[in-house]
Amino acid sequence: MVEPVDAIRAIHNAFRNDLEHIDAAALDSARGKEGLAATVERFRFFNEALVWHAHGEELAIFPVLENVAPLVAEAYVKDHRGLDAAFDELSKSYASHDPLTTARATAAFRFHLNIHLDKEDTHLYRIFTERVSLPEQGKAVGIMSSTVPQERFPEMVAWMFPLMGQDDRENMTRIWQMVMPAPAFAGAKELIKGAVGSDWAELTHRIPTL
């Protein structure tokens, strides 16, 4: 049975996956390999999505958590500001056309992101699922998803779905199917179909109602 928090875990995995590729490309560039600019430059959209996500957590998840586990979320807000600083450092390094400092910046960003997401998955969201009722969890995740600007939603789907494994794609699709009004889900479905290409057959096999 899919739960609202599965959508958050799925997007966390997309973040990990994207930054791993960006960091690997930055390292190869620093070693002199050509043709990796497009992969390294994914850091721009990656960070836009990360900021929407962090704002969503701060708006919808952390206040709910504060009621059931005071002072826990505070440490995670500090982590988020650390991610902002990691992005600023990376942006600055990339703009100065310095492949070595760029690779150092992507490595630092990746390291901090991975620690942060692992803490959220195993600590913060564990408390959230154990102490917040399922309807409240659903409501919070719904508010959270509203932080993606509507006109950017197609880009978000095109970015996220190729980065996710089959289980995460299935979970995210099932959750959207449950929470979105039918016409909105019909639009999302087309975007997912475009994003996953030939894997669409696997998704419709897993979710026959698609």
Binding-site ranges for Fe ion (CB under 5 A): 57
Please, what is the minimum distance in Å from the beta carbon of residue 201 to Fe ion?
33
Nearest to 169 by CA among 204, 127, 129: 204
- Rounded distance, CA 207 to CA 71, Å? 40
Q: What is the closest distance, in whole angstroms, from the C-beta atom of residue 60 to Fe ion in the complex?
A: 12
- Min dist CB 9 to Fe ion, Å, is 12
Give the span between the Cα atoms of 127 and 65, in whole angstroms.
Answer: 8
Q: Residue 6 or 57: which CB sits closer to Fe ion?
A: 57
Q: Which amino acid is at 90?
A: L
C-alpha dist (Å) from residue 183 to 104, 169, 209 = 45, 20, 15
Q: Minimum CB separation from Fe ion for residue 170, in Å?
A: 23
Q: Which is nearer to Fe ion, 94 or 109 (CB)?
A: 109
Contact 195, 158 (CB under 8 A): yes
Compare residues 40 and 132 and give the one whose CB is closer to Fe ion: 132
